[in-house]
Structure 1
Amino acid sequence: MDTTQNLIHGAGLGLRRSFLTEVVEQPLDVGFYEVAPENWITLGGRLGKQFRALTERHDFICHGLSLSLGSTDALDEQLVLSVKQFMREHQIKLYSEHLSYCSKEGHLYDLLPIPFTSEAVTHVAARIRRVQELLGQRIAVENASYYAAMGQEMSEIDFFNAVVAEADCDILLDINNIYVNSVNHGYDAEAFLRAIPAQRVSYAHVAGHYVQADDFLVDTHGAEIIDPVWKLLGKAYELFGVFPTLLERDFNIPPMSELMREVGIIKTMQNAWSKQHAQQSA
């Protein structure tokens, strides 16, 4: 089975339809783009041609929204096969999904937490293995934000690592989700990072969030990234080395200059680590 590691590089940006025309007409200096395949598979006409123009020139990742890995509903194998065809058509190198669920006899239109139990580990890992079998390659699963842990038998990090190990999949490391969960659930974000199996990290997300209260953060992807999240990304580079890192922004989308400012921070951090590492190795 194909590995998904080392297929993309640098600092990336989540592509949104609202600025598709802008980036086609004025190409950005980014390492890769990420799209939710459900939002682009059926795209045709002018937008479809613009999207094709981008995928012919840039590396892309698919980041799924609706596979619902934790659901007890039957796995949507037709969706997986549609994603496989979409990836083939556009030479897309990696597929990632959330370690969550969003369906129960129909879609729920929200990403809900999977209970941290041994039974859930077995159930979810089997579904991930089936997805990988259908795609013919490993996928990356993302550590999800959550606001309640129903029926919890183990810690978040133990659950996450158990799923990844049993499924033999890769990791999409969401830095903001670690920070948000650490504040909301009172754990040490750096300790969580240290427990991640570094060799499985394919790439990472960074994003902004909403501060509801000092001890309650909401993962929104609708604000600029704050210093503690940047510092946590820096710690991840320190622990694991530089890995591809993508800026997510889903609403309250600012001018492109602001998005590229944050992409530029990622690049600066990656370059600084690489330079320091080269000096230490000399």
Structure 2
Amino acid sequence: MIAVQGVGLGLRREMLTQMCQQKPAEIDFFEIAPENWIPFGGKLQKQLAQLTAQHRFFCHGLSLSIGGPAPIDIAFVKQIKAFLQQHNIETYSEHLSYCSGAGHLYDLMPIPFTAEAVDYVANRVKQVQDILEQPLILENVSYYAAPGQEMSELDFTLSVLQQADCKMLLDVNNIYVNSVNHGYKAEHYLQQIPSERIAYYHIAGHYQQEKDLLIDTHGADVIDPVWRLLALAYQQHGVKATLLERDFNIPTWCNLQAELNQIHQLQYEANGTESAKIKLEPAL
């Protein structure tokens, strides 16, 4: 089961020793990419096992290629399943994209927004879930081109979620990045997502290459419009577990701590608003 709320941080290998000694109070859960840990044994695996035994973990995959042209790599999915079971991790998410086709592409490529692709992806999601014997959660991704587009990104995403009957990892920064790059209203996209489909949130920073071209990097501080969009997500869909992604240009702990505390503050404010609404409702 996924926590109703809480604040998480992506765990990097260089953080292991520090986190094994003492987890900062600002972190309620960690997220890891299983591909970054499966190949390693020895001390790294022992330290990871120590942490997963003590704290809540989510897994966010990189290589499933749910929309790719090649058949699902069943051996790989079974590796993921064994890893999840080994560390008692119940939450596994992946990108609504693909990263392979006659070899690994080393990037997340956009799935054509077509009805045919919806059927294709939904069937592959069900196949993966049958192997894992647990849900697969799909994340909305940033994209920079839409080849063969027949429907909007929003309609495509909603159709996949409905047909696959799966949950969504709502990446708030990706909504903002795509809204700037493709000229739509981020607030409208956010409003159209069914609250019951949202499992948890991601938030991150990005790079502004041009006024109308943002690059999702996870390598910068979260900017004010993205913070406001997260606050709006809490108001519209409720407070849910939220992960801060920082993969490059890792800042000092004080900087990370400030952003984690910003999420805590937004969750506190949203919970306070919800409590006030409940108190104002007349008794039946």
TM-score (norm. length: structure 1):
0.96
Deviation string 1:31-80 (CA, Å, 9 cap, x unpaired) is 11100000111222222111111101111011000000111101011111
Find the counterpart in structure 2 of residue 236 from structure 1: 233
Q: Please list every run of 5 or more consecutive structure 1 residues that lacks an aligned counterpart in the other structure.
A: none
Tell me whether 1:139 sits opposite 2:169 in the alignment. Answer: no
State which of 31, 52, 55 in structure 1 corresponds to 2:49.
Answer: 52
Find the counterpart in structure 2 of residue 22 from structure 1: 18
Once structures 1 and 2 are overlaid, which stretch shifts more, 26-35 or 176-185?
A: 26-35
Q: Which amino acid aligns with 1:208?
A: G
- 8 Å Cα contact 2:66/2:95 also seen in 1: yes
Tell me whether 1:92 sits opposite 2:89 in the alignment. Answer: yes
- 8 Å Cα contact 1:71/1:103 also seen in 2: yes
- 8 Å Cα contact 1:32/1:59 also seen in 2: yes
Tell me whether 1:192 sits opposite 2:189 in the alignment. Answer: yes
Deviation string 1:140-169 (CA, Å, 9 cap, x unpaired) is 100010000111000000000001111111
Q: Which amino acid aligns with 1:185?
A: H
Q: Which amino acid aligns with 1:26?
A: Q
Q: Which amino acid aligns with 2:273?
A: Q
- 8 Å Cα contact 1:210/1:219 also seen in 2: yes
Find the counterpart in structure 2 of residue 39 from structure 1: 36
Q: Which amino acid aligns with 1:16?
A: R
- 8 Å Cα contact 1:8/1:31 also seen in 2: no
Tell me whether 1:246 sits opposite 2:240 in the alignment. Answer: no
State which of 189, 202, 205 in structure 2 corresponds to 1:208.
Answer: 205
In structure 1, how many angstroms separate the alpha carbons of the residues matched to 2:50 and 2:220? 29
Q: Structure 1 segments of 4 or more deviating over 3 A? A: 6-9
Deviation at 1:8, TM superposition (A): 6.0
Find the counterpart in structure 1 of residue 221 from structure 2: 224
Q: Secondary structure at the match of 2:54?
A: coil
State which of 179, 186, 200 in structure 1 corresponds to 2:176.
Answer: 179
- 8 Å Cα contact 1:9/1:32 also seen in 2: no
- 8 Å Cα contact 2:5/2:239 also seen in 1: no
In structure 1, how many angstroms separate the alpha carbons of the residues matched to 2:79 and 2:270? 39
- 8 Å Cα contact 2:113/2:149 also seen in 1: yes
Deviation at 1:255, TM superposition (A): 1.5
Find the counterpart in structure 2 of residue 63 from structure 1: 60
Within-5 A mapping of 1:67-146: 67-146=64-143
In structure 1, how many angstroms separate the alpha carbons of the residues matched to 2:16 and 2:118? 38
- 8 Å Cα contact 1:7/1:93 also seen in 2: no
Structure 1 vs Structure 2: percent identity of aligned residues? 54
Find the counterpart in structure 1 of residue 282 from structure 2: none
In structure 1, how many angstroms separate the alpha carbons of the residues matched to 2:116 and 2:241? 32
CA RMSD of aligned residues (A): 1.0
